[in-house]
Amino acid sequence: MKLRIHVTLKPGVLDPQGKAIEHALAGLGFAGVNGARVGKLIELDVAEGTADADIDAMCRQLLANTVIENYRVEKA
């Protein structure tokens, strides 16, 4: 079973990498970029029938830092 896990910074958490992208796009001449935030996209291939609770535990224990990051699991 393929999972796609989106890990994004919580609103309010500073994102220097996003800021760098925003400035770099402006520097390249792309006007109208008002914000950029960078997160992680983790594609996992887990055994068929893996429980949602296990997937959640993987995210909490390893994949996302829930103090500053949100995560969303998408089954593909």
Residues at the contact surface with a second copy, assessed by CB under 8 A = 6-8, 18, 21, 24-25, 28, 30-47, 50, 54, 57-58, 61-63
**Contact (Cβ atoms closer than 8 angstroms) between residue 6 and residue 41:** yes
Residue 67 CB, nearest approach to a second copy (Å) = 19
Cβ proximity to a second copy, 42 vs 73, nearer residue? 42
Q: How many CA atoms lie within 13 A of 28 on its CB side?
A: 8
Instruction: Give the bridge partners for 9, in sequence order.
Output: 69
Residue 22 CB, nearest approach to a second copy (Å) = 8
Q: How many residues are listed for the chain in this entry? A: 76
Residue 16 CB, nearest approach to a second copy (Å) = 14
